[in-house]
Amino acid sequence: MDAALDAMVSNGSIPYVVAALGNSAGPIWSGAAGERASGMAAGGDTIFRIVSMSKAVGATAALILADRGRLNWETPVEEILPEFARLVVIENGVETQLRRPARTKATLRNLATHTSGLAYEFWDGAVGRYLAESGMPSIVSGQRAGLLYPLAFDPGTAWQYGGGADWLGLAVSAIDGRSIDRFCIEEIFEPLGLTSTSFELNATSAALLGDVLARTENGELGSSVLNLDPPASPEFYGMGHALNSTAPDYLRFLRMWLGMGSLDGVRILSEATARDALRNQIGTLRIEPRSTVFAPATSDLDPMPGVELSHSLVAARTERQVPGRRAVGSAFWGGVLNTHFWLDPTADLAGVFMTQVVPFLDGYVMRDLEEFERLSYSLMI
């Protein structure tokens, strides 16, 4: 495993990597290769901008409230956050003036499963044009005005990757009364011992942050001109992108899911709630590939080509066995800077594979991730 990571860095496909494996009983293996910054080796203490890997944490926050009978997944979003009712559908995916009210109401379940109608501009040209024409800030800006994206489709009628997790985090705050950062710290980070996971960087964690590099047209790595850091001191913390973490910390979070809500004797979710959360929650809908409209930040959205994918309340979900890799019912996702995880309850195995490279789903990174996963199953199971 260590030799494989070293080779990934030495052949130039990734600048550095920190990876780890674990099961419900404990960590199994961890390793690192390369320099997170000039002269500074990557390691278990390296801080990563995990961006969209924040979504699974936000979903867990909502599940804690559901477990306590305080959140109903079928509640319309606008009953908790009235401003959601302002969102309209871009009819036929054309310009901003051709809009209509949604024919269905988005629920909290739709927010968690990317079936709410919200769509990121990175894979939806109509949404991107709307933002450009209206002057609306991006949802990753940290500004509340950035929440008011138009809907790309009627809620519940399709799957499209978008900012539902940010609204879900606000719903948790509205129901509970605590800010989403305080809720996550008190209900998730502290009970699970996630000591290096945070919404804001302090001087110590900032000094451990990995550099971000970009894939150039010739396949080499160079400096990134994109700023995809979670904004400091935002108007709201978006659970779609707000967190910084380490590979060991995130593995602890995944091990809680392998333990069906429990980690090292500490339970934050009931087993029934955890098992239900990992089931397919979108019926016959499926995750379909989408072409990028902003290639500097992301490749096409097709994380597992040829594999049937649904979505749980936590993350994307495989609907068939991937030979030599994860089983049916495995959860997985990644962040735009190419931090990745998978969670396989059948094999009792979770893995994290973290670097900081754009574009998202970069072909070199995804090849290395697949190699790491195959090695994990061949050596660890």
pLDDT, tens only, 229-253: 888 889 999 999 999 999 999 999 9
Q: Contact 115/154 with Cβ under 8 angstroms?
A: no
Distances (CA, A) of 46 to 54, 122, 128, 310, 333: 17, 28, 33, 32, 20
Question: What pTM, to 2 d.p., does this model score?
Answer: 0.97
pLDDT, tens only, 216-226: 999 999 999 88
The closest of 285, 295, 357 to 316, measured between CA atoms, is 285
State the virtual CA torsion across 98, 103, 120, 62 in degrees, nearest 10.
150
107 has which bridge partners?
A: 76
Q: How far apart, in whole angstroms, are the C-alpha atoms of residue 269 and residue 64?
A: 6
Which domain covers residue 17, as residue numbers? 2-380
**Per-residue confidence (pLDDT) for residue 228, from 0 to 100:** 85
Instruction: Report the number of distinct structural domains present in the chain.
Output: 1
Cα radius of gyration rounded to whole Å, the chain? 19
β-strands 349-354, 316-318 pairing? unpaired
**Per-residue confidence (pLDDT) for residue 381, from 0 to 100:** 59
349 has which bridge partners?
A: 344
State the virtual CA torsion across 231, 234, 237, 238 in degrees, nearest 10.
-60
Q: What is the CATH number of the domain that holds 29?
A: 3.40.710.10
Average of per-residue pLDDT values in the chain: 96
Q: Which range (68-72, 100-104, 169-173, 377-381) has the least confidence?
A: 377-381
What's the average model confidence in pLDDT over 296-304?
Answer: 97
What's the average model confidence in pLDDT over 138-163?
Answer: 96
Other CB atoms within a 10 A radius of the CB of residue 371 amount to 16
Confidence label for 379 from pLDDT (cuts 50, 70 and 90): confident
Q: Contact 155/107 with Cβ under 8 angstroms?
A: yes
The closest of 206, 203, 205, 225 to 214, measured between CA atoms, is 225
> Catalytic positions, please?
52, 55, 161
Q: How far apart, in whole angstroms, are the C-alpha atoms of residue 24 and residue 230?
A: 30
The closest of 258, 260, 259, 234 to 180, measured between CA atoms, is 234
Cα torsion 275, 117, 340, 233: sign: negative
Q: Could you tell me the two tokens for 99?
A: 């809009």
* DSSP state letter for 212: P
What's the average model confidence in pLDDT over 286-291?
Answer: 98
DSSP H or E stretch at residue 223: strand 221-223
* DSSP state letter for 91: G
What's the average model confidence in pLDDT over 298-303?
Answer: 98
β-strands 357-358, 213-215 pairing? parallel
Please, is 74 exposed, middle or buried when counting C-beta atoms within 10 Å of its C-beta (0-12, 13-18, 19+)?
Answer: exposed
Q: How far apart, in whole angstroms, are the C-alpha atoms of residue 240 and residue 242?
A: 6
β-strands 26-37, 40-41 pairing? antiparallel
Other CB atoms within a 10 A radius of the CB of residue 218 amount to 6
Q: Could you tell me the two tokens for 177?
A: 């009364």
**Per-residue confidence (pLDDT) for residue 108, from 0 to 100:** 99
Q: Contact 245/57 with Cβ under 8 angstroms?
A: no
89 has which bridge partners?
A: 100, 151
